[in-house]
Amino acid sequence: MEMADCRYISDFGSLRLHKSGLRLGDKIAISPFNGPKQEVTLTRLSYRLRRGESYKYSGEKSEILIPFVSKLFTEYQLRLCSKDSETSVDESGRYLLKSIGINPFKLNGNYTFEAFLEYGDIVELEYSRLEIKKKHSAKESSVLPLNKKIIESELSVLIEGETGTGKSRLARNLHDSSLKNGPFVHINISSYASTLIESELFGHIKGAFTGAVNNKMGAFAEANRGTLFIDEIDSLPLGIQTKLLLFLDNKKIRPVGAERDQQLDVRLIFSSGKELKNLVKEGKMRSDFYYRLITGGRIKMPSLRKNKKLVTQLLKEFEIDEGLYITPQLKDFYRSHSWPGNIRQLLGHLKQKQVLSGGEKIDHCSLDDELSLNVIEEEVLEMDSEVRKLEEVKSLYVMKIYNRFGNNIKRSAKLLGVSPNTVRSVVRFSN
């Protein structure tokens, strides 16, 4: 059979594909419906995804065998296409997936016969899946803080840490590194009213309660053969803790109003921003549930103020992902900042600076000064519980600014909106 004609990137918007399009050297994760997840590094100009009894790819040929259920002719081609019609296929090429048979594929939930693939895309070929992964990313190259045997096992995992430390991000990486073929489902317990949590987790049948006009598939059923990430497990009501404890023991759930249990294959990952031991002492968490949570894998996420290496890693990752340059001076400043909002605050701050800079270079600006001022204000207010005189608080605040900005009187005065002599007198008196 003749190979499918290639489309050119310029036909579809070359700027976006230049940044996020699938290219030589990138990886795709293949999850056949009847076998473990596999990973393929793209080194060839073209691949054929053909029918096979089971997944098979040796790397020697360009054929990847994938099991298909349909008896219709089903075949797909993944081909590297050049930037435009005048350019030969090279490092600027991006991969196009095209249906050769009469069956379309589903891309991020929508059916199509042809599409350039981008990082983060999910492709469904009947009951098998392709996940488009990125090659050069600091977050993927980092070592997961858990034994590989635990990552690839069925043991549940508990992730603890302050808000914004990347618990959701880590949960996704754990799923991607596991042997689970099914989906990754994320549910945040604190975002639901306590009366709805049971239905959201376990589902319900029609007529189970007022308003249950249809059957509902809960998060557990959605995550079958995959991973369910239960965020903020510290918000789970006592009664539902018992039901979840039963699932951890026998892998069975019972939807609200149902008469029979359902057997499911779901790997659980939990997260908490609170100290769970304290919840047990306060009677808000069952002790048997607590001990069950901590007997699987357990990870404590450090805050950014205690993990300067992670700040460096995140800055490098942001530069690569966004095609930007962050000056060394600004990187030093970010490594010295306490980041009370952790990863979420850092990435949000960088995004804001990126939008306002309008270029490919990020340097120190007034947004960074405001960042420091906000933290200094919090530090001054939280120094101790003793009531201080206003003049003393003012002096402490001026000294915080002065010390934070390298003992520079002129810059400190400008930030504070006072004269250099005012700052100089406070410094002289304090010393």
pLDDT of res. 24:
83
Check whether residue 15 and residue 50 sit in a common domain: yes
Q: What is the per-residue pLDDT across 388-417, written as a single tens digit (0 to 9) for each?
A: 565 666 676 777 777 766 678 887 787 777
Q: Residue 348 has which token pair?
A: 């949000």
**Is 2 domain-assigned?**
no
Instruction: Mark whether 211 and 282 lie in a shared domain.
Output: yes
The pLDDT of residue 377 is above 60: no
- Identify whether 4 is part of a domain: no
CATH of the domain at 20: 2.60.200.20
Residue that terminates a domain, selected from 300, 317, 346: 300
Residue ending a domain, choose from 135, 152, 174: 135
In this predicted structure, the answer to whether residue 242 has a pLDDT above a threshold of 60 is yes
The C-alpha atoms of residue 30 and residue 129 are separated, in whole angstroms, by 6
The confidence score (pLDDT) of residue 99 equals 93
Taking the C-alpha atoms of residue 166 and residue 162, their distance in angstroms, rounded to an integer, is 9
Within-domain flag for 247 = yes
Q: How far is Cα 349 from Cα 337, in angstroms, rounded to an integer? A: 12
The reply to whether 148 and 111 lie within a common domain is no
Per-residue pLDDT tens for 171-207? 998 998 888 878 899 999 998 988 899 999 999 988 8
The verdict on 154 and 292 lying in the same domain is yes
Residues 165, 119 share a domain: no
Contact 252, 264 (CB under 8 A): yes
87 found inside a domain: yes
- 1 in a structural domain: no
What average pLDDT is seen over the chain? 83
Nearest alpha-carbon partner for 304 in 350, 337, 271, 352: 337
The answer as to whether 335 is a domain residue is yes
Q: How far apart are CA 162 and CA 323, in angstroms?
A: 29
The token duo for 382 is 């939280």
The domain total for the chain is 3
Q: Identify whether residues 273 and 155 lie together within a single domain.
A: yes
Do 62 and 103 sit in the same domain of this protein?
Answer: yes
Q: Are residues 81 and 172 in the same domain?
A: no
Taking residues 130-154, report their average pLDDT.
Answer: 71
Q: What was the pLDDT predicted at 378?
A: 53
Task: Choose among 192, 188, 274: nearest CA to 234.
Answer: 274
Q: Which tokens in the block code for residue 29? A: 């994760």
- For residues 283 and 318, membership in a common domain is answered with no
pLDDT at 213 over 90: no
Q: Say how far apart CA 174 and CA 197 lie, in whole Å.
A: 24
Q: For residue 138, name the pLDDT band (cuts at 50, 70, 90).
A: very low
Q: Which amino acid is at 32?
A: P
pLDDT band at residue 277, thresholds of 50, 70 and 90? very high
Q: What is the pTM of this model?
A: 0.59
- Pair 153, 268 in one domain: yes
Phi, psi of 219 (to 5 degrees): -60, -35
3-state SS, one letter per residue, for the chain: CCCCCCCCHHHCCHHHHHHHECCCCCEEEEECCCCCCEEEECCCCEEEEEECCCCECCCCCCEEEECCCCCCCCCEEEEEECCCCCCCCCCCCEEEEEECCCCCEEECCEEECEEECECCCEEEECCEEEEEECCCCHHHHCCCCCCHHHHCCCCCEEEECCCCCCHHHHHHHHHHHCCCCCCEEEEEHHHCCCCCHHHHHHCECCCCCCCCCCCECCHHHHCCCCEEEEECHHHCCHHHHHHHHHHHHHCEECCECCCCCEECCCEEEEEECCCHHHHHHCCCCCHHHHHHHCCCEEEECCCHHHCHHHHHHHHHHHHHHHCCEECHHHHHHHHHCCCCCHHHHHHHHHHHHHHHHCCCEECCCHHHHHHHHHHHHHHHHCCCCCCCCHHHHHHHHHHHHHHHCCCCHHHHHHHHCCCHHHHHHHHHHHC
Distance CA 288, CA 228 (A): 21
The owner of tokens 């357990």 is 298
Whether 236 maps to a domain, the answer reads yes
Same domain (yes/no): 153, 170: yes
Of the three residues 135, 164, 185, the one that is the final residue of a domain is 135
- Position 107 scores a pLDDT of 92
pLDDT digits (tens, 9 = 90+) for 73-90: 889 999 988 755 444 445
* Percent of the chain clearing pLDDT 90 (strictly above): 35
Q: Which residue has the higher pLDDT, 430 or 97?
A: 97
Question: What's the average model confidence in pLDDT over 51-60?
Answer: 82
Q: Is 354 inside any structural domain?
A: yes
Domain that includes residue 253, residue range: 140-300
Q: In terms of domains, do 109 and 45 share one? A: yes
- Any long-range contacts for 412-419 (C-beta under 8 Å, 24+ apart)? 415/369, 415/373
